[in-house]
Amino acid sequence: MATARLSTHRVVIVGAGPAGIRCAETLLAAGCKPILIDENRRDGGQIYRRQPEGFTRDYTTLYGTEAAKAKDLHQSFDRLRGLIDYRPDTLVWNLTPGQLCCVSQGKHSTVDYDALILCTGATDRLMPIEGWQLAGTYSLGGAQIALKSQAVSIGHRVVFMGSGPLLYLVASQYLKAGANVAAVLDTSPLGKRIGALPKLLARPGVLFTGMKLLAQLYRAKIPVHLGISPLQVLGDAQRGVSGVRVRTAEGKTLTVECDAVALGYHLRPETQLADLAGCRLRFDEASSQWWLATDEEGRTSVNGVYAAGDGSKIRGADAAEHAGRLVAMALLEDLHQPVDAGLRDEQRRALALMDQFRLGLAQAFPWPAEQAKALPDSAIVCRCEMISAGELRRTVSEKGACEVNRAKAFSRVGMGRCQGRYCSQAGAEVIAAAAGVNVQLVGRQRGQAPVKPLSMLTEEVSP
Amino acid sequence: MTLQKADVVIVGGGLMGSATAFFLRQRGQSVILLERDQIGQYASGVNFGNVRRQGRFLGQLELANRSWALWKRLPELIDDDLEFIASGHMRVCYREDEIAELEAYAAAPEAEQLDLKIYRGAELHQRFPFLGPDVKGGSYAPHDGHANPRLAAPAFARAARRLGARIEEQTEVAEVQKVGGEFTVTTTDGRQFSAEQLLITAGAWGQKLSAQFGEPVPLDTHGPQMAVTEPVPYALPTVIGVYTKIPEEVIYFRQIPRGNIVIGGGYRSKPDMLNRRAQVEPRSILNQIQQMRRLLPGVGNLNIIRVWSGIEGYMPDSLPVMGRSGTVDGLFYAFGFCGHGFQLGPGVGDVMAELISTGSTRTSIEPFSIRRFALSAEQRSKAS
C-alpha cells in the first residue's frame, strides 16, 4: 500500500546543486523516482558548477580546497542520472498549485507535482556604491562563474571588494588561475572576526581553510585591507571601470587602479518560486534578510511544498547536502515511508553545527546596512532602471512610500530585468534609513513571475 | 471617541475616490476619504494605463471627453506628472467586415471630437509598418494616449490632501448608518466619520456597500492580466489594441518612453477576494506572447520581465455604476468601471464633485444609474 503510493506520487525537485542532488539520491534510495529540473546545462549548482563538455581542467584547478566534495557530488549525480527523470537546461518560470510552468530551449511545457522540493540556491547579496553601474563591475558570484565555466577573468587587473567567505575564495581562485589580483578590500574589521571566533570554531576545518586562503593572498603579496568603507567605482561610460576608491580603517583615502571589480556581501536566497507558491517568509535577524519559513526539516508553510539549501536559508554548500537529505526524509515520512532515524539524526547534528557557524559568519562579515544610509544621492541603487538613491529617498520623503513595494511602484527600483534580485535588499535599507525605521518594517519585494525573463519566442508544446 | 465631520465622506481610495476628493476641495467642500488599504492599490494602480476614448459605449463619450480635457491640463492641474502622453491610439482588426464596424463608430456624431481616421490595406501598413500581415484595418484616434496608472490615484490623493482633504489609509469601514440627515461611518478600529453626503467609490467592493442600502447590483470581479518587456529604444509611440469578438485575440500594448512595452488583454483570472490577491494565469501570458507575435512580429526578440494583476469590478452590461442612489438621499456611487475606468478617472471625479456640491451635472451620466438594476429586479419578480 505504502509503496504503491510512493510510486504514483509525483515528486519534483527544482535545482541540481548540492541540496537537490542529495535530496534526489535519498528519495531514489527509498524507491521514489523524482523529476529533477535544473536551469543549468550541467549539474552541480553554483559552487560545484561543472565546466562545459570539452573543457579539461582537473578538480583541483577548478575547485581548489573544495575539490574532493565537488568530485564526490558529481560522481553521486552521475550514478543517479539514468535512474531519475533529469531535465537540465529547464527554467521553472512560474507555478500554480500542483503545476510548474517550464521553458526549455524556447519550448514551454507544464509539469504536474504532488510534492515540490525547492533547492533553488542563492545569488550574491549586493550593496550599491557610487559608480557600480560602470562596465567592468561584477558580482563575486558572477566573477566566479566566468572563471569556473569559461576559464576567463573579468578583467586584466581585478579588485575584489565586499565581505564574506566568497570574497576570499574567489580572490584566491583568481590568483591561482594566474589573474592579476589588484587588491582585496573587506568592509569587515578584524575585531568582528575575532569576536566571532567562538562560533566559527563550530567548524574548525572550514575556519582553517579560510585562513589558508587568506595566507595564500598574503604570500602572493596581494594588498588585503580590512575595515574599509567603499567610496566609489572610478571610470567613465566609454572605457568602463578604471579604479576603486575606498576609505581605509585608518581613515585614509585609498585608490586602487583596476579595470574590473567584483563586489558582494555573502548571499541572498532565491525565494521567488516559494513566494509564488504562497510560502511564508520570515525575517532572519542575524543576517538581516528574509528567508523562507520552514521547519527544521524543510517543510514550508504550504502543504506539499518543501525547501532545502541556500534557497531557503543561507548556510553554505555543506549544509545544503545535509538539508537535501533531511528534506527528502521529511517528505518520505509525510508519505508514511520508513526513514533511517540514525541517518536523520546525523544530518540534524551536522546542521546544528553549521547553524552555529553561519551565525559566526554573519557576525564576522556583517551586512553593511550603514552604507545604504551613507550612499550619496547620486549613486544608482537600481542598475536595471538606473534609479538613484536620491530618487528613491524622495519617494519616501515626498510621496510617503515607506514600504518596499509601494516605493517600487513610485520609483521603479526593482522593476527591471533582475526584478529586484540584486537591488531590492539595498533598496529596502535606503527606504528604511530615509523613513527612520527598522529594515524589517519596510517589508520585502513580492515575487512576481516570470522568475527569469521569458522569451517572447516561447512556443507551447502539447503535452 | 471622537467623531470627525465633513461635508462629504468618500469610501474607497482608488482613482475615482481620490479624483473626487480633489475636485470637491476645489469646490470648497470639506472631504474625508477612507481607504481600507493603500491609495490606488487594486484596479487603479495595476491597469494598462490606457487614456483611450475610442471604442467606448457612445453614450459614455461625453464623460470621456470631459475627462480628456482634464488629462490635457496635467501636470499643472494637480502639480504632479502622471506620465500622460497624447500619443495617439490605434484600434486594429484582423477581418474586413470589422473595418465596417470601425467606420460606423467613427461616423457616429458622439465620436466627432475624436477625429478618428480609418486605415486599411497598403496605407495602413505604410503608416504602421511594424504591424503583422494579419492586420487588415484600423481606426486611429490622434488625441488619445496613455499614462502611468501606478502614479495616478496617489497623485490625485496627494493633491487633494494639499488642498485640505483628509485622507485616511489603512482604514476599513465596518458599518455605515444613516440617522436623520447624516451618515455615520464606523471603521474597524472604532473611529467614526460623519457627513451629510456619502460617496461609494469602492471598486470591486462597491456592491457590498450599495447592498447595505438596499441596492444590490450584480457585480463580478476579474483580475486583469498585464505583462511588460525589457526596455528597447522608444519607437512605438502609438497605443495599439485589437478590436475583435474573440476573447483570446484581445491584446493591447503601449511602449513607454523609457523603452518597456506594456502588454494587456486575453484571459482574465478570478481574484481571491478573501485575501485580496489576484494571480496572473500562466496561460494568459502564453496567449499574450502568441497574440503579440501576430500583432507585432518584431516583438519576438524581446523578453517578458514581469507580469501582474489586480482586482476589477465588472457589471453585466459593461457600464459602471455612477450617480446618485435610487433610494437614499445624499448617497452617491461611482464604482464597477469594468476595466475601462482609468481614462474616465479625472472626469468622474469632476462630475461627481459637481453633482454632490450642486445637485446636478451638465454631463450625461444617466445610462450608468444604479436604478437600472433595481428596475430589472422588479421585472424579474413580476416575471416569476
Q: Given a cut of 60, is residue B377 above it in pLDDT?
A: no
* CATH classification number, B88-144+221-314, choose in 3.30.9.10, 3.40.640.10, 3.90.1150.10, 3.40.50.2000: 3.30.9.10
Smallest Cβ–Cβ distance between B38 and the set A406, A417, A450 belongs to A406
Summarize the confidence of residues A243-258 as an average pLDDT.
98
Reported as a single tens digit per residue, the pLDDT across A251-299 is 999 999 999 999 999 999 999 999 999 999 999 999 999 999 999 999 9
The full set of domain ranges for chain B reads: 3-47+150-219+317-383, 88-144+221-314
Q: Which CATH class is domain B3-47+150-219+317-383?
A: alpha beta
Q: Given a cut of 80, is residue B383 above it in pLDDT?
A: no
One-letter identity of residue A126 = L
| Total beta-carbon pairs less than 8 A apart between chain A and chain B | 68
- pLDDT-based confidence at A52, cuts 50/70/90? confident
- pLDDT-based confidence at B379, cuts 50/70/90? low
Reported as a single tens digit per residue, the pLDDT across A107-139 is 999 999 999 999 999 999 999 999 999 999 999
What pLDDT shows up at residue B346?
98
User: Chain B contacts of A108, Cβ < 8 Å?
Assistant: 286
What pLDDT shows up at residue A311?
96
Partner B contacted by A184 (CB < 8 A): no
Where are the strands (E) in B230-374, listed by range? 239-242, 252-255, 261-264, 303-308, 312-314, 321-324, 331-335
> Are B304 and A410 in contact (CB < 8 Å)?
no
The full set of domain ranges for chain A reads: 2-123+268-361, 126-265, 370-442
Summarize the confidence of residues B208-213 as an average pLDDT.
95
CATH 3.40.50.1000 for the A370-442 domain, yes or no? no
The verdict on whether omega for the bond into residue B75 sits within 30 degrees of 0, i.e. cis, is yes
* C-alpha closest to that of B9 among B329, B356, B326: B356
What pLDDT shows up at residue A150?
86
Summarize the confidence of residues B307-330 as an average pLDDT.
97
What pLDDT shows up at residue B381?
61
Q: Given a cut of 80, is residue A4 above it in pLDDT?
A: no
CA angle A90, A96, A101 (to 5 degrees): 20
Partner B contacted by A419 (CB < 8 A): yes
Which residue, among A95, A394, A454, A461, would best test binding to B if mutated, counting the most B CBs under 10 Å from its CB? A454
Reported as a single tens digit per residue, the pLDDT across B69-108 is 999 999 999 999 999 999 999 999 999 999 999 999 999 9
* A-chain residue closest to B155, CA distance: A399
Partner B contacted by A454 (CB < 8 A): yes
Q: Given a cut of 80, is residue A463 above it in pLDDT?
A: no
In sequence order, the 6+-apart residues with CB closer than 8 A to the CB of B181 are B196, B329, B330
Q: Given a cut of 90, is residue A392 above it in pLDDT?
A: yes
Please give the ipTM for the structure prediction. 0.93
- Give the closest-approach CA distance of A405 to chain B in angstroms: 11
Q: Given a cut of 50, is residue A333 above it in pLDDT?
A: yes
> Are B293 and A108 in contact (CB < 8 Å)?
no
- The answer to whether A2-123+268-361 and A126-265 have equal CATH topology is yes
- pLDDT-based confidence at A1, cuts 50/70/90? very low
- pLDDT-based confidence at B114, cuts 50/70/90? very high
Partner B contacted by A411 (CB < 8 A): no
CA A350, chain centre distance (Å): 21
- Residue ranges of alpha helices (H) inside chain B are 15-26, 43-46, 61-71, 96-107, 121-127, 149-162, 206-212, 282-295, 345-358, 371-383
pTM here? Answer: 0.94
Q: Please tell me the number of Cα atoms within 13 Å of B54 on its side-chain side.
A: 33
Reported as a single tens digit per residue, the pLDDT across B182-191 is 999 999 999 9
CATH number of A126-265: 3.50.50.60
User: Chain B contacts of A419, Cβ < 8 Å?
Assistant: 305-306
Provide φ and ψ at A268, rounded to 5°.
-130, 145
Helix (H, G, I), strand (E, B) or coil at B262: strand
Partner B contacted by A405 (CB < 8 A): no
Smallest Cβ–Cβ distance between B305 and the set A108, A453, A460 belongs to A453
In sequence order, the 6+-apart residues with CB closer than 8 A to the CB of B313 are B43, B203, B204, B205, B206, B207, B219, B220, B221, B335, B336, B337, B338
> Are B303 and A453 in contact (CB < 8 Å)?
yes
CATH 3.50.50.60 for the A2-123+268-361 domain, yes or no? yes
Q: Given a cut of 60, is residue A18 above it in pLDDT?
A: yes
Report the C-alpha gap between B41 and B101 in whole angstroms: 36
* B-chain residue closest to A452, CA distance: B305
Reported as a single tens digit per residue, the pLDDT across B35-52 is 999 999 999 999 999 999
